[in-house]
Amino acid sequence: MTQAREKAIFDTGQQYLGGVYAKALLGAAEKAGNAELVADELNSFIDDVMANLPSLESTLVSPRVAAEAKTAMLDKSLGGKVSVELLNFLKVVARHGRFDCLRAIRQAVRQQLNDLRGRVEVLLTAAQPPNQESIDLIVNRLKALLGKDVDLQVDVDSELIGGVKLRIGDTVYDASVANRLVRLKDELLSKTGQQLRDNPDRFALAD
DSSP code per residue over 27-95: HHHHHHT-HHHHHHHHHHIIIIIITT-HHHHHHHH-TTS-HHHHHHHHHHHHTTTS-HHHHHHHHHHHH
- C-beta separation of 47 from 56 below 8 A: no
What number is the average pLDDT over the span 45-53?
94
Domain that holds residue 111: 10-115
- Is the same domain home to 72 and 98? yes
Please say if the pLDDT value at position 71 is more than 60. Answer: yes
Query: How many domains does the structure of the chain reveal?
Result: 2
Residue 107 lies in a domain: yes
Higher pLDDT, 150 or 2: 150
Instruction: List all residues 6 or more positions away from 159 whose beta carbon is below 8 Å from its beta carbon.
Output: 127
Task: Please state, in angstroms and rounded to a whole number, the distance separating the CA atoms of residues 180 and 188.
Answer: 13
Higher pLDDT, 176 or 91: 91
pTM of the model: 0.72
Residue 148 lies in a domain: yes
Per-position DSSP letters for 104-143, written without gaps between them: HHHHHHHHHHHHHHTEEEEEEEESSPPPHHHHHHHHHHHH
- Is the same domain home to 87 and 142? no
Q: How confident is the model at residue 177 (pLDDT cuts 50, 70, 90)?
A: very low
Residue 5 lies in a domain: no
pLDDT at 79: 94
- Is the same domain home to 99 and 28? yes
CATH number for the domain harbouring residue 158: 3.40.30
pLDDT at 102: 97
Q: Which of 8-17, 87-96, 182-191 comes out lowest in average pLDDT?
A: 182-191
- C-beta separation of 189 from 137 below 8 A: no
Cα 61 off chain centre by: 22
Please say if the pLDDT value at position 76 is more than 70. Answer: yes
Nearest residue to 133 (alpha-carbon basis) of 90, 76, 205, 191: 191
CATH number for the domain harbouring residue 54: 1.10.520.20
pLDDT digits (tens, 9 = 90+) for 149-161: 999 999 998 887 6
pLDDT at 138: 85
* Cα angle 51-150-2, degrees, rounded to a multiple of 5: 35
Q: Which of 32-41, 53-62, 79-88, 130-139 comes out lowest in average pLDDT?
A: 130-139
